[in-house]
């Protein structure tokens, strides 16, 4: 079998397309490195394909009596390995590698070496593809085609990548959509990054040199730094001082970093402190275990100052965000409590509970309810003779006293209408005698009005029966009662006597056995006709003590 190297790869050096120019040298440098890194990564893919395909062929061809085929595949594999070494030289992250490639002579030599290896890859694979009629090759043709195509692709990429050193950064940015814009934002916002969060940091490491290095780096960044030589000392310092961040070594004598981390995350006082684990152990299982235990991040030794600054800054920023979030949540909770308090001021407790649970209140009928109306006598003339401030101030004092009295007697305030006060007993939950509760409440309400310096007189009317209750409005909720029971109670009050409690006949029947009263005759109630009114004159002496 004769070799027919038909792949001709020129050794000419890519033409010089000019030095990169840009208005922002920093952005240009970032764009350049990102562009080249992308292209280099493209080159690695076919190189790895070559090595993988050779390994599969050699594994399957081990028992074949085709030594010539095996030797050529081994040569292709060796060329692939050499290519990988050369590519890794290009991909090396050190800055001096990139600067060396700025030299056209270095680039030309590197290109020459890579194309020499690719000549072997492409030619050997192509020659064996031409022998496709050989029976033993039938199972290897897909891998041979893969090797051949990958070799050609590598040859194209070598020229593209090495030529990229002479492409203007603006052209490179065009080939990386949005990257140039994003990197420009990064650079121009760097001033903001310099004012990132500073904090109080505790460094825990048994190695005094490591502690000193970390302390110096962090202090140069503006942080306040404390150090501890072991886990027990760290826990004691956490008990005595407040820290924003913990840098924690894993391997320490006595209490190791895992144990300290677990203790910190179990303690409610410390669990919100972010922890960055530091160690020369970089096994993925160890990193994963740290994250599982609650670590914020992981920092390998030796320390990279740039990475250290970025991870510390990020952890502190996250802590500040969490603290702000907690403060906002507390503020929201306070506002929620205030909202609840206002709702309870406006609406009865049971209605507030239903409204919050269902976002509405179902109207319902309430049976065996006593309704009380109270009204200040001659309030309108009083308003005409006094200033608004004095009127409202005195009315506020009286209504507050009435609310306290109602609460004490199990009577639910419903609303105030001007100088009128409406309440009910037996609305929410069963009461043995809601009428009696309203009478007791009314007695104290009259006394409270007399106690004020202005000496207001009050009329009170009480009726009992069934009522309909519900909430009206959307923007300004109002719980109200409707029905004949309410209307009759209002008539009892409006036709009543100053300084006295007047009850309907049905309400009087509920307390007549223990009370003294005087009939005031009938009053016309709309839809009801004449209804008897009874003035409450006090409790019977035999029942006064129990009442």
| Domains assigned to the chain | 25-187 (1.20.140), 196-322 (3.40.50.2300), 361-544 (3.30.70.1230)
Phi then psi for residue 242, to 5 deg, are -105, 130
Strands 200-204 and 245-249: parallel
User: Which of residues 56 and 16 earns the better pLDDT score?
Assistant: 56
Q: What is the mean pLDDT of residues 365-386?
A: 92
Quote the pLDDT of residue 34.
66
- Residues 163, 17 contacting (CB under 8 angstroms): yes
Q: Are 501 and 374 in contact (CB under 8 A)?
A: no
Q: What is the pLDDT of residue 436?
A: 96
* 326 or 380, which is more confident: 380
pLDDT at 431: 85
CA distance 189 to 184: 8
**Digit-coded pLDDT (tens) for 475-500:** 667 788 999 999 999 999 999 899 99
Is the pLDDT assigned to residue 133 strictly greater than 90?
Answer: no
Lowest-pLDDT range, 100-109, 265-274, 428-437?
100-109
In angstroms, rounded to a whole number, what is the distance separating the alpha carbons of residues 242 and 225? 12
pLDDT tens string 147-167: 999 999 888 888 777 766 655
For the ranges 10-19, 42-51, 141-150, the one whose mean pLDDT is highest: 141-150
pLDDT of residue 345: 66
Query: What is the number of other CB atoms lying within 10 angstroms of the CB of residue 209?
Result: 8
193 pLDDT above the threshold of 60: no
Band of residue 533 on the pLDDT scale cut at 50, 70, 90: very high
Q: Could you tell me the pLDDT band of residue 302, with boundaries at 50, 70 and 90?
A: confident
CB count, 10 Å around CB of 492? 28
Least confident of 25-34, 372-381, 448-457: 25-34
Q: Which pLDDT tens digit goes with each residue over 274-289?
A: 999 887 766 677 778 8
Q: Which residues fall within 8 angstroms of residue 104, CB to CB, at 6 or more apart?
A: 13, 16
Between vectors from CA 372 to CA 369 and to CA 376, what angle results, nearest 5°?
Answer: 170
- Please check the confidence at residue 213 and state whether its pLDDT lies above 60: yes
Structure-model confidence comparison of residues 404 and 300, the more confident one: 404
pLDDT category at 190 given cuts 50, 70, 90 is: very low
**What does residue 523 show for φ and ψ, rounded to 5 degrees?**
-125, 140
Is the confidence at residue 373, as pLDDT, over 80?
yes
**Distances, alpha carbon 336 to alpha carbons 228, 398, 475, 535, in Å:** 43, 29, 17, 46
Contacts 24+ apart (CB under 8 A), 442-448: 442/372, 442/374, 442/501, 442/536, 443/501, 444/405, 444/409, 445/374, 445/401, 445/402, 445/405, 445/421, 446/499, 446/500, 446/501, 448/398, 448/401, 448/402, 448/405
Interval 436-463: pLDDT, tens: 999 999 999 999 999 888 889 999 999 9
Spatial contact of 68 and 61, defined as CB atoms under 8 Å apart: no
* pLDDT score for 93: 47
Are 513 and 484 spatial neighbours (Cβ–Cβ below 8 Å)?
no
| Among 108-112, 441-445, 543-547, the least confident range | 543-547
Contact indicator for 446, 401 with CB cutoff of 8 Å: no
Stretch 280-301: mean pLDDT, rounded?
80
- Report the alpha-carbon distance of residue 88 to residue 500 in Å, rounded: 103
């Amino acid at each position: 079998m004769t070799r027919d190297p038909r792949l001709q790869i020129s050794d000419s050096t890519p033409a010089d397309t000019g030095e990169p120019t840009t208005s922002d040298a920093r952005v240009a440098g970032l764009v350049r490195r990102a562009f080249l890194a992308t292209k280099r990564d493209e080159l690695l893919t076919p190189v790895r394909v070559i090595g993988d395909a050779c390994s599969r062929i050699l594994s399957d061809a081990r028992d074949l009596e085709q030594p010539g085929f095996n030797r050529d595949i081994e040569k292709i594999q060796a060329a692939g390995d050499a290519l990988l070494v050369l590519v890794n030289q290009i991909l090396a992250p050190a800055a001096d590698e990139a600067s060396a490639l700025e030299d056209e002579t270095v680039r030309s030599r590197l290109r020459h070496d890579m194309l020499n290896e690719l000549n072997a890859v492409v030619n050997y694979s192509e020659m064996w593809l031409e022998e496709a009629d050989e029976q033993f090759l039938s199972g290897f043709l897909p891998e041979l085609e893969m090797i051949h195509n990958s070799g050609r692709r590598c040859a194209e990429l070598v020229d593209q990548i090495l030529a990229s050193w002479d492409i203007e950064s603006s052209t490179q940015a065009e080939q990386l959509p949005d990257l140039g814009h994003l990197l420009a934002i990064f650079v121009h916002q760097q001033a903001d990054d310099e004012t990132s969060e500073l904090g109080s940091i505790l460094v825990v490491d048994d190695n005094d040199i490591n502690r000193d290095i970390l302390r110096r780096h962090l202090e140069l960044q503006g942080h306040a730094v404390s150090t501890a030589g072991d886990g027990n000392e760290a826990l004691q310092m956490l008990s005595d001082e407040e820290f924003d961040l913990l840098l924690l070594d894993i391997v320490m004598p006595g209490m190791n970093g895992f144990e300290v981390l677990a203790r910190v995350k179990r303690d409610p006082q410390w669990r919100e402190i972010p922890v960055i684990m530091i160690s020369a152990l970089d096994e993925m299982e160890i990193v994963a275990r740290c994250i599982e235990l609650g670590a914020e991040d992981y920092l390998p030794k030796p320390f990279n100052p740039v990475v250290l600054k970025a991870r510390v800054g990020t952890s502190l920023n996250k802590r500040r965000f969490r603290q702000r979030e907690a403060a906002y949540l507390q503020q929201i909770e306070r506002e929620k409590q205030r909202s609840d308090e206002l709702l309870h001021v406006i609406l009865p407790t049971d209605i507030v509970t239903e409204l919050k649970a269902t976002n509405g209140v179902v109207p319902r009928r309430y049976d065996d309810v006593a309704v009380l109306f109270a009204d200040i006598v001659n309030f309108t003339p009083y308003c005409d003779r006094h200033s608004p401030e004095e009127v409202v101030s005195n009315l506020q004092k009286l209504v507050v006293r009435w609310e306290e009295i109602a609460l004490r007697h199990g009577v639910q305030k419903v609303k105030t209408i001007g100088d009128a006060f409406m309440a009910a007993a037996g609305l929410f939950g069963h009461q043995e005698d809601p009428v009696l509760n309203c009478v007791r409440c009314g007695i104290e309400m009259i006394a409270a009005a007399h106690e004020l310096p202005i000496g207001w007189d009050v009329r009170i009317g009480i009726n009992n029966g069934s009522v309909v209750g519900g909430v009206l409005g959307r923007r300004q909720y109002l719980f109200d009662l409707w029905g004949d029971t309410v209307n009759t109670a209002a008539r009892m009050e409006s036709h009543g006597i100053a300084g006295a409690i007047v009850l309907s006949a049905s309400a009087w029947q509920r307390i007549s056995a223990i009370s003294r009263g005087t009939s005031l005759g009938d009053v016309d109630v709309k839809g009801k006709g004449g209804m008897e009114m009874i003035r409450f004159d006090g409790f019977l002496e035999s029942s006064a003590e129990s009442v």
